[in-house]
């Protein structure tokens, strides 16, 4: 596959953009390097690059593009928003409509605020939890990614009864001393952390279904235990549903699993592809936020009509009959095809799937926490990624990311993908 123009653009990019990319994983470091493909257009389940090559897309822009690229209903909403005024700096009726839609879909969102990214949404839920409880610390789970604000860029310390270490240069030890990180699906570790730090803990933050070390479901009873243990310590529970909201059903993972957090952070899908974040939860907690309460949060772009109208249009598409059932069935078809190929060619591939989102791990039998995901074979994944790319299948460039189906994938794309997987497995992953 000729990607000469991507090569040229990447060389040019490195002269003007730090590292040539505006978000690090786009530089293919997780797959042993290479030249990132410069995409030009997207339509439905397909992307076209600057050299005219087409790809079946499973990156879905890291999740937001659940209705496929350039969905006509969303495109029309964005065009109309642009024609009417892209930014007003005042309230608009669209914010009311959208907040009501979110609240109807996810009843725990008694009050909502819109921001501009998942990072901002998560960061603000932590501030609100601290304001409400008057406590400083947070507990989170290893491998769950919550954006790039300081408090969530903290790695585990030496165990559940120790605070963390900075996971990025520029994050101070003081900040790391406010965060405890424990393994996902490990209630004993959570209990130990809360036994030690419970009285200082403002919130326990969790992705209710993990999307950031592949697709990993909570074990039965785990999230109920998170709620019970946190609440018994007087701490709040925050769900980071930036990936999961509207991914598996019209609503959040919390609806699907029947568990209710105190606060929820969202992003990605709810913007229909434009920048957005939102957070919300119990009314008495949300009333900590300015202008009602003392916890400050603001934004020039917050609730901008383009993102809001794009988000409304996206949810309208997702209200269609059978949308999620179809993605689930196609996800199952893809999973079975990959598993069959792995068996036929004796490749140690393991698939974990939740509805239309799945991850292919190599060299492990099951992934329940970050340590399991880390132990999967990086070199095999890298080889798989590059070979699939050359066959016109666009995956996320990291063994920790998920494949996302969209409403526009059909059996045709799934079967072509399985065929590509079979060819790659037959060729081998070295
Ligand atoms: N939370 C989760 C679960 C995410 O996966 C991400 C991004 O991947 C974020 C938060 C941060 O969102 P954003 O990239 O919009 O800032």
**Locate tokens 């996206």: which residue?**
314
Q: Assess whether pLDDT exceeds 90 at residue 157.
A: no
Averaged pLDDT of the chain:
97
Residue 430 banded pLDDT, cuts 50, 70, 90: confident
Q: Is the CB of 125 under 6 A from ligand 1?
A: no
Give catalytic status of residue 326 as yes or no: no
Instruction: Please compute the mean of the pLDDT values over residues 202-212 and round it to a whole number.
Output: 98
Instruction: List, in order, residues 6 or more apart from 216 with CB less than 8 Å away.
Output: 184, 185, 209, 210, 352, 367, 368, 369, 373
Mean local confidence (pLDDT), 193-207: 98
Q: Distance between CA 59 and CA 415 in Å, rounded?
A: 17
Q: How far apart are CA 86 and CA 80, in angstroms?
A: 9
Q: How confident is the model at residue 416 (pLDDT cuts 50, 70, 90)?
A: very high
Q: Tens of pLDDT along 336-362? A: 999 999 999 999 999 999 999 999 999
Indicate if ligand 1 lies below 6 Å from the C-beta of 62.
yes
Look at residue 266 and tell me whether its pLDDT is greater than 90: yes
Please give the domain boundaries of the chain with CATH numbers for all domains.
4-70+324-427 (3.90.1150.10), 72-318 (3.40.640.10)
Region 220-248: mean pLDDT is 98
Which of these is catalytic: 137, 268, 368, 399? 268
Furthest-apart CA atoms within the chain: distance in Å:
62
Query: What count of other Cβ atoms lies within 10 Å of the Cβ of residue 134?
Result: 8
User: What count of other Cβ atoms lies within 10 Å of the Cβ of residue 290?
Assistant: 12
Task: Please give the distance, rounded to the nearest whole angstrom, from the Cα atom of residue 142 to the centre of ligand 1.
Answer: 15
Residue 412 designated active-site? no
Average pLDDT over residues 51-66: 98
Catalytic residue among 240, 262, 328, 372: 240
Q: What is the pLDDT of residue 5?
A: 98
SS (H, E, C) the chain: CCCHHHHHHHHHHHHHCHHHCCCHHHHCHHHCCCCCCCEEEEEECEEEECCCCEEEECCHHHCCCCCCECCHHHHHHHHHHHHHCCCCCCCCHHHHHHHHHHHHHCCCCCEEEEECCHHHHHHHHHHHHHHHHCCCEEEEECCCCCCCCHHHCEECCCCCCCCCEECCCCCCHHHHCCEEEECCCCHHHHHHHHHHHHHHEEEEEECCCECCCCCECCCCCHHHHHHHHHHHCCCEEEEECCCCCCCCCCCCHHHHHCCCCCEEEEEHHHHCCCCCEEEEECHHHHCCECCCCCECCCCCCCCCHHHHHHHHHHHHHHCCCCHHHHHHHHHHHHHHHHHHHHHHHCCCEEEEEECCEEEEEECCCCCCCHHHHHCCCHHHHHHHHHHHHHCCEECCCCCCCCEECCCCCCHHHHHHHHHHHHHHHHHCCC
What is the percent of the chain where pLDDT is above 70?
100
Burial (Cβ within 10 Å: 0-12, 13-18, ≥19) of residue 414: buried
Select from 358, 402, 362, 367 the least CA-distant residue to 383: 362
> Which whole-number Å values give the CA distances from 265 to 21, 134, 140, 239, 309, in the listed order?
26, 20, 14, 6, 19
Average pLDDT over residues 410-425: 98
Whether the CB of 117 sits within 6 Å of ligand 1? yes
Average pLDDT estimate for 368-385: 98
240 is annotated as an active-site residue: yes
Torsion of Cα atoms, 153 then 175 then 237 then 209, to 10°: 10
Which ipTM was obtained for this model?
Answer: 0.99
Q: 198, 197, 163: which is closest to 181 by C-alpha?
A: 163
| Spatial contact of 27 and 34, defined as CB atoms under 8 Å apart | no
CA of 341 to the centre of ligand 1 (A): 32
Predicted confidence (pLDDT) per residue in 286-307, tens digit: 999 999 999 999 999 999 999 9
Instruction: Using a pLDDT cut of 90, give the percent of the chain over it.
Output: 99
Cα distance between residue 92 and residue 90, in whole Å: 6
Distance 107 CA to ligand 1 centre (A): 22
Residue with more model confidence, 157 or 108: 108
* pLDDT tens-place string over residues 104-147: 999 999 999 999 999 999 999 999 999 999 999 999 999 999 99
Question: Mean pLDDT throughout 84-112?
Answer: 98
Ligand 1 contacts CB of residue 146 (under 6 A): yes
Phi, psi dihedrals of residue 236, rounded to the nearest 5°: -90, 165
Instruction: Tell me the Cα Rg of the chain.
Output: 21
Catalytic residue among 94, 145, 324, 361: 145
């Amino acid at each position: 596959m000729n990607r000469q123009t991507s090569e040229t653009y990447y060389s040019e990019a490195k002269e003007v953009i730090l590292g040539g990319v505006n978000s690090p994983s786009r530089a293919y470091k997780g797959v042993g390097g290479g030249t990132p493909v410069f995409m030009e257009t997207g339509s439905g389940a397909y992307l076209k690059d600057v050299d005219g090559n087409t790809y079946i897309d499973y990156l879905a822009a890291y999740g937001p593009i659940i209705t496929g690229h350039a969905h006509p209903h969303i495109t029309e909403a964005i065009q109309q928003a642009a024609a009417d005024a892209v930014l007003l700096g005042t309230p608009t009726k669209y914010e009311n409509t959208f907040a009501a839609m979110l609240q109807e879909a996810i009843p725990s969102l008694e009050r909502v605020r819109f921001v501009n990214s998942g990072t901002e949404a998560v960061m603000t839920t932590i501030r609100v939890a601290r304001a409400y409880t008057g406590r400083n610390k947070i507990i989170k789970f290893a491998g769950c990614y919550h954006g790039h604000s300081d408090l969530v860029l903290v790695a585990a310390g030496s165990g559940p009864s120790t605070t963390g270490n900075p996971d990025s240069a520029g994050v101070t030890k003081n900040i790391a001393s406010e965060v405890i990180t424990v393994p996902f699906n490990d209630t004993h570790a959570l209990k130990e952390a809360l036994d030690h730090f419970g009285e200082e803990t403002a919130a326990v933050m969790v992705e209710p279904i993990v999307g950031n070390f592949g697709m990993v479901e909570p074990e039965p009873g785990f999230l109920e235990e998170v709620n019970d243990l946190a609440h018994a310590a007087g701490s709040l529970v925050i769900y980071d549903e930036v990936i999961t909201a509207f991914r598996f059903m019209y609503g959040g993972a919390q609806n699907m699993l029947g568990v209710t957090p105190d606060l929820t952070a969202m992003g990605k899908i709810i913007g229909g592809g434009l920048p957005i974040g939102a957070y919300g939860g119990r009314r008495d907690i949300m009333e900590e936020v300015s202008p009602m309460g003392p916890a400050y949060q603001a934004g020039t772009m917050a609730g901008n009509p383009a993102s809001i109208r794009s988000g409304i249009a996206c949810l309208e598409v997702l209200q269609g009959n059978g949308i999620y059932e179809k993605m689930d069935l196609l996800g199952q078809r893809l999973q079975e095809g990959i598993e069959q190929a792995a068996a036929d060619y004796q490749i140690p591939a393991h698939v974990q799937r939740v509805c239309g989102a799945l991850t292919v791990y190599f060299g492990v039998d099951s992934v329940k926490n970050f340590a399991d995901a880390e132990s999967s074979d990086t070199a095999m994944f890298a080889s798989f990624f590059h070979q699939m790319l050359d066959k016109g299948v666009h995956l996320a460039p990291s063994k920790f990311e998920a494949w996302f189906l969209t409403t526009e994938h059909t059996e045709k794309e799934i079967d072509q993908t399985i065929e590509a997987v079979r060819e790659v497995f037959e060729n081998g992953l070295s």
